[in-house]
A and B are shown apart, each in its own frame.
Chain A
Amino acid sequence: MPKPNPAILARKAQIVARLQAVLPADAVIFEPHETRAYECDALTAYRCPPLAAVLPRTTAEVSAVLRVCFEEGVPVVPRGSGTSLAGGALPTADCVILGVARMNGVLETDYHNRFIRVHSGRTNLSVTGAVEADGFFYAPDPSSQLACAIAGNIAMNSGGAHCLKYGVTTNNLLGVTLVQMDGTVLEIGGAHMDAPGLDLLGVICGSEGQLGVVTEATLRILPKPEGARPVLIGFDQNEVAGACVSDIIKAGVLPVAIEFMDRPCIRACEAFAKAGYPDCEALLIVEVEGSPAEIDEQLALIKAIAMRHNPVELREAADEDQAKRIWLGRKSAFGAMGQINDYMCLDGTIPVTALPLVLRRIGEMSKEYGLDVANVFHAGDGNMHPLILFDANKPGDLEVCEAMGAEILKLCVEVGGCLTGEHGVGIEKRDLMAVQFAPDDMEAQLRVKDVFDPAWLLNPAKVFPLSVTAGRRAA
């Protein structure tokens, strides 16, 4: 991270006093033993306590805080629930963390027009929680959905397992209340569809908190399907599993999820969760939705396609309990890995057709670098999740792991994919941006930030290589 600005550190007392003047006493955190709580997000390898943290309760308070920081020239790092795997909410010593966790209310629920308006600190799962009794749900479902906030989902344009059918955050976001760095409050979008002019909402979503602070969001809610049922299909070759995914998609069935696990992942999950998975090379979990008869029809088609690929196992859930068992192993994949070892989770996306090649290359890299890799991913949309296992207590292991991770992501770009499908760039993949983008491509993005945040104070050290943004951040 860039060196903190000593002039800001020296003015800490004055800055804190100004923040206290615009916020209730309990909303400003500045004692070193308290700011420690904000020193990192879920990318825990990097830590740095902020100058201060503020926890506003209203859009007006957010605006007041940003105005103060703008006038003082203090960088601001917005924070949802702090679950970023990419270091999106990592502080610098001279920044103010602006946490929206206390803004978690439901502001409006409208079933006729199928939207909900919430404060952005509300957790993803509790958005669905607010409407599910009435038969609705909010579709994006990142695996951290119990904890992660809508603010962070919007910042990272989060996905989840069901994107193939329902899209990611940007496809389910109708409007936001955005506070700019100078405190200006904007309403963009709303309960209606599409923008009258330029689609600012589209570029705000996924901008990693660099364009403004989202305090309220209007989200599309959907009627819950009548039912859902998974089928588990095991193969003795990754290539064959990949071909099966392609054939399912081509056949005109649109499953809500197609999850893929490779042998190391299957074994770890089985040891951890005892879901009864077969010991095979590759495993698919395909889930479809609808009435019981509709599910039967779609699963029959999927099973017929799978049979053409000679699966070693084909298991349909006969009831709710069996469905849970099929998902059990997959859902505990990250926990299972965490129990074995420290791990780094990447999320590069590749064209589905490149799957066999990429898996083979990752296997080779695993040998070269001497670190085990387990693969679990959203196969329908090509969003990989290689988990590289390492030992944080072994000197040098993290560095080897990061180097290997970088090689995997370069491979994703090389085959026509991208560095990150749903976690965001943050600090983690910042320095790899030049792999995917030519200088002109990056410059076009920087120009957008110039317009929204000319002083470059919002989350300034993220997304782009520090060398690329140095001139602007100093400005």
Chain B
Amino acid sequence: MRPTTEAELAVLVRGANGPLRIVGGGTRGIGRAVVGETLETGGLAGISLYEPGALTLVAWAGTALAGVEAVLAAEGQRLPFEVPDMRGLLGTAGDSTLGGVVAANASGPRRLQGACRDSLIGVRFVDGMGIVVKNGGRVMKNVTGYDLVKLLAGSWGTLGVLSEVAFKLLPVPETAATLGLSGLSDAEAVAAMSAALGSPFEVTGAAHWPGQGTYLRIEGFAASVAYRAARLAGLLTEFGEMTVEEGAARWSGIRDVVPFHGRAGDVWRLSVKPSDAAGIAARCGGEVLYDWGGGLIWVLVAEGTDLRAVAAPFAGHATLVRGSAATRARVASFHPEPPAVATLTAGLRAKFDPRGILNPGLLA
């Protein structure tokens, strides 16, 4: 099924008599495979409103990300949260859609400033009964009623099929620079990144690739970037000599987890308190890549590892992003919730999708 209008989408969901497998671009496949009829959203495409002077974009959920990014770039603007491209890591093909990005709350290194859900200001979606619901809007300050916008971000299609999404945008800075430190242990690297992020010099990326280097990104007007680079070098002298490279080419590799592309094994993603990160990574074994100043750890481990058990105990959550069918059958892809939270989650799903037809089992 590939509806081309929201009304058509609503009719299809209302008339569905079995589970639906909701697919945007199909680039971010995760979790247990959904068995059901495929509902593609790619036909719901197009930008409905773009106002550069108001930093606002509204588009149908099936609109391809790449096209939107090009339109924004032409006006010197961008989505603020640096969407990761997961095709290389997951071995998927196709064109990522805005709806898929939102359903996954997909956020890259710039998540330090805010995730996808922080820039998302409005949604329209079709719930499991085929009812069209709108929430939020096209303005960046809006506290009218409950914030279902946030609830839909990262819901992986289980509360509704997104039909339209609205974002707050940001201007693309004039220039960027990447500062590098080398030879640091994981713990030292996290300490260096924390020091940088705790400074007023507006670091918009902080990553550590063990064996390669520790990287900080700063963005802005050229003179300001040069000034902040010098100040950060001064601040971090105890961590060794700092190199400065112009631009931010390195960051797409970190964003897309390039070090793990084409490598055998399962890939996990852990969201933790940065100061816990090095200890957790040590328990995990395997290869790691730190982003978000240590708040995000990507781990490559042998197939079939239940990384949650290995890393425990830790505060935060772990997601199996890429796993063999055997691992996925045995280990929950999404972090189990405490019972009282799970009750609320199940209650919300039952209200928005009482028949349990929207990506059933995906988040379980």
Contacts and interface: CB of A to CB of B under 8 A. Distances in A.
Contact of B145 (A226, A253, A351, A463): A463
B142 interface: yes
Contacts, number: 262
A127 B352 CA distance: 37
Interface string B246-282: 0000000000000000000000000111110000000
A25 interface: no
A192 B144 contact: no
Contacts of B75: 250
A382 B141 contact: yes
Interface string B147-190: 11111011100110000000000111110000000000000000
Contacts of B147: 157, 170, 202-203, 205-207
A438 B134 contact: yes
B232 to A, nearest CB: 12
Q: Which residue among A110, A197, A424, A448 has the maximum number of chain B CB atoms within 10 Å of its CB?
A: A197
Interface size class of B (residues with CB under 8 A): 35 or more
Given A441-B135, A447-B351, A293 B151 contact: no
A290 interface: yes
Contact of B221 (A159, A200, A297): A297
Contacts of B315: 190-192
B312 to A, nearest CB: 14
A206 to B, nearest CB: 5
Contacts of A452: 344
A136 B227 CA distance: 21
Interface in B58-101: 75-76
A381 interface: yes
B65 to A, nearest CB: 20
A297 B224 contact: yes
Interface stretch (A4-12, A328-336, A415-423): A415-423
A252 B173 contact: yes
Given A226-B200, A249-B53, A422-B143, A192 B150 contact: no
B175 to A, nearest CB: 11
A194 B137 contact: no
Contacts of B334: 196-197
Contacts of B115: 193-194
20 contacts: A112-B275, A167-B114, A168-B143, A191-B316, A196-B317, A197-B334, A198-B158, A202-B153, A223-B199, A226-B200, A249-B55, A250-B76, A252-B173, A293-B224, A294-B221, A297-B223, A353-B53, A381-B141, A440-B133, A451-B347
Lowest 8 CB-CB distances: which A-B pairs, in order? A202-B150, A246-B53, A196-B317, A196-B335, A192-B316, A421-B141, A252-B171, A451-B347
Interface of B: 51-56, 75-76, 105, 107, 111, 114-115, 117-118, 127, 131-135, 137-151, 153-155, 158-159, 170-174, 191, 194, 197-200, 220-221, 223-224, 227, 271-275, 292, 295-296, 315-317, 319, 334-335, 337-338, 340-341, 344-345, 347-348, 351-352, 363
